[in-house]
Structure 1
Amino acid sequence: MGMAASQARWISLAARKTNVEYEGQQINQARMALSNQSSELWNQLYSMEVPTAPSTTDYTKTQYTFDSGDISQTISNIQDADYTDSDGIHYNSYVTYYSKVSEYTGIRNTNSNPQVQYIQPSEGEHEGYYMIGTKKVSCLNTVDRTDTSSTAAWGTYSAQLDQIANDWPDTQLAKDWSSFKNDGTTSALDNIYFWTDSSGKVNFASKTATTADSLDACLQDKTAALHSYYADYQTTNKEVSKYAIVDYDASGRATSVQFEGSSVVHDLKATSVTDDNAYNDAMNQYNYEQQVYEKKVQDINAKTEQIQTEDRTLELRLKALDTEQNALQTEMDAVHKIISKNIESTFKTFES
């Protein structure tokens, strides 16, 4: 190979070697970026909080009950207290419990199919009347208000309407009754009608009202719902809180309770009660969080696998470049020797 050809070849090899080195640097930078991405994904995975399944013990508490006569009362809360009454009796607790209480209450009936009818007056009658199904409806103004005996209907109806008006003050029924009671407006009684239902309850309803639940409204619209009202005793769980003396055993469990103002000591029965609804809600939340967690792990694993695939491809390319670079260096060394020999031969020619 001549001098010119050798030099041209060497320059070509050097240029290719430079390109190979540059490509290798680019690959190393790309692999470094992939490594940073992989490290970031690992940090995300490491920082993720693994969901913990709820335990029934977290939703289970000791519930105390005591017997008061034939009724079992349930204690909902016992708080520490430091209270001394006027008799010098010291109470160490403030106890809240639910007691079954019978209260006289105004109750609303919703009659979705009232079958309100108006019967026209027969010959010789002055007025017609309403019927609800098979029950005849009467106007309250027809009741004798002068009969004050203990068995008089008016006294019974008055007590019932007092309670209904107290519990349902925004109804037309309450407004009419209050108008009569407070202002003596007897014409207000013309808008109050009553009947006895199949359960023996005396129901009261308005003839007309601004709402679509009166007798006339249901007479005009057979799909309308009639609201009627009656009063009766209802047994409800009422929350009661009192100071009390609570005794405990060696394990810290309450064994008896004596309430303020009473000399009766009630034995306490302890049972473990689990709030199933709260536990089920917590389990549903856990299942959701577990699904979200597993999805994130799958996404991170998929991205990591993709990064590893790209890195292996770059690694193989880098090895190929290393092999090519070594081959180029070997060939450049050989060409360099040829050039050196050509130079040496040229100098010898000039010397001779």
Structure 2
Amino acid sequence: KNNVEFEGQQINQQRTTLSNESASYYSELCNMSVPTPPSVDDYTKVSYTFNDGALTNTVTSMIAKGNNQYSISYIQQWQDDYSIVSASSSLISKENNTYKVGTTELRALGSINGKSAADIKNMTTADFDALKLGLSNDKYLSTLEQDQLADLLEQEEYYQKMLNENKFNNPNSGDEWYVRYVKDTTKGNYVPYFYQKDEVEDPDKYNQGYAVSTINCYSIGSSTKTKEVLNQIGTVEKDSSGRYISLTLYETDAKGNVDTNKYTTYSLTTSTSTDEEAYNDAMNQYNYDQNQYDKKIQDINSKLEIIQSQDKSLELNLKQLDTEENAISTEIDAVKKVISKNVESSFKTFNA
């Protein structure tokens, strides 16, 4: 009987341990945070724009200053049809100290055979004829007269400033460029293509006379320009929904003083834009978190099922021990009765 009681105590201890484990898992379930899907509204913003001639202006901030006035900042945007743009590069070959694209030799920008625009303007007719004779293989330059050629070189000096402004943010950097002209078969004009001299003459870019790595090429084309305008004083008007419908900008004098008697009012256009990339990233993160959450729930439920199964088995074992203990107790009681009866009979016999 003592062995049965000891086994019962062990089973109860095991069931207590399982109960504690089960409570721990249920507590973990209660403390888990359910993933929340992202809202499109969180990645959507309202923008206000107004037009001023060819300029499209996007408001970036409106800060209340008191007296119904605001400090207004915005980005100006316009299309510049005459700016430096990247162009597709072509294979450049090197022969002695000359560089070519196909059969067209690259020429130093701003000069022809070392002659500047001023040099060409001051040439005699004979000198110019001699210069032009050397340009007979150039399909573009060979068509230009003396004043046209001088004008072209002056324009190329401007190109050089534009290129250095675009490349180095310094129009007066002095960096040199090569140029070639290609005829636009649609419009009939010749289009310049520019290459930075240091890149073209870099020996590491060539193998057996041909460029084996990219040499950047630029041309003249259309690009979008922007400019930030900060802290302009003005007023704004809202509709009944609270959205801005117009703004008024005051003029300022040379000293920066605001003149409220001089102003321009602009109608505002409202638009909404959604950061699709950020929203998709957030949705991907949500799907991952939800998957991890579901997996965690499944893992905990599986462990709880195992605990419940183990506890059920221990419960059955405990009932079996109770049955055995009852049987032993019954047997002991029966033995006690037999012994008691025998003892009683013995005393009676002895007394007789």
- Shared fold (TM-score, shorter chain, > 0.5): yes
Q: Secondary structure at the match of 1:226?
A: coil
Within a 5 Å distance, the mapping from 1:135-146 to structure 2 comes to: 135-140=104-109, 142-145=113-116, 146=118
Aligned-pair distance for 1:292? 0.6
Structure 1 unaligned spans of 5+: 1-16, 84-89, 121-127, 179-188
State the match for 2:91 in structure 1. Answer: 114
Alpha-carbon distance, 1:343 to partner: 2.3
Offset, 1:265: 0.6
- 2:197 is aligned to 206
- 2:43 corresponds in structure 1 to 59
Map of 1:264-275 to 2, 5 A cutoff? 264-275=264-275
Distance 1:240 1:198 in 2: 40
For the residues of structure 2 that align with 1:96 and 1:205, how far apart are their CA atoms? 35
Further displaced range: 243-252 or 308-317 = 243-252
Residue 52 of structure 1 aligns to a residue whose secondary structure is coil
Equivalent residue runs for 1:241-256 within 5 Å? 241-243=230-232, 244-256=234-246
Percent of aligned pairs sharing the same letter = 35
Mapped to 2, the partners of 1:56 and 1:108 lie a distance apart of 36
Q: Which residue of 2 aligns with 1:317?
A: 317
Shift of 1:144: 2.2
1:94 and 2:72 aligned: yes
Structure 1 residue 230, shift from structure 2 partner:
4.8
Separation of aligned partners in 2, 1:218 and 1:247:
66
Q: For residue 256 of structure 1, what is the amino acid of its counterpart? A: S
* 1:235-261 CA-partner distances (Å, limit 9, x unpaired): 224433342321123332111112242
Structure 1 residue 109 displacement after superposition: 4.5
Q: Deviations over 1:295-324 (max 9, x none)?
A: 001001100111111111111111111111
Offset of 1:95 from its aligned partner?
3.0
- For residues 265 and 218 of structure 1, what CA distance do their matches in structure 2 show? 63
TM-score after normalising by structure 1:
0.74
String of CA shifts for 1:251-276, please: whole Å, max 9, x gaps.
Answer: 32111112242722111122333332
Moved more, 244-253 or 29-38: 244-253
The answer to which of 68-77 and 239-248 deviates more is: 68-77
CA RMSD of aligned residues (A): 3.2
Moved more, 325-334 or 252-261: 252-261
Structure 2: any 5+ residue segments left out of the alignment? 122-146, 185-190, 252-261
Matched positions, count:
303
Match of 2:52 in 1: 68
What residue number does 2:249 align with?
259
Deviation of 1:114 after TM superposition, in Å, equals 1.1
CA distance in 1, matches of 2:23, 2:209: 76
The within-5 A match list for 1:187-336 is 192-198=177-183, 200-206=191-197, 209-210=201-202, 212-213=204-205, 217=206, 220-230=209-219, 234-243=223-232, 244-261=234-251, 263-336=263-336
Tell whether the 8 Å contact from 2:92 to 2:102 is kept in structure 1 after alignment. Answer: yes
Check 1:108–1:250 CA distance in 2 against 1; reply closer, same or farther (3 A cut).
Answer: closer
Shift of 1:231: 6.0
User: Which residue is equivalent to 1:186?
Assistant: none
1:121-158: per-residue Cα shift (whole Å, max 9, x none)? xxxxxxx8532024332245524223478953332222
Aligned residues of 1:131 and 1:137 also touching (Cα < 8 A): yes
State the one-letter code of the partner of 2:36. T
Give the TM-score, by structure 2 length. 0.74
Deviation at 1:219, TM superposition (A): 6.2
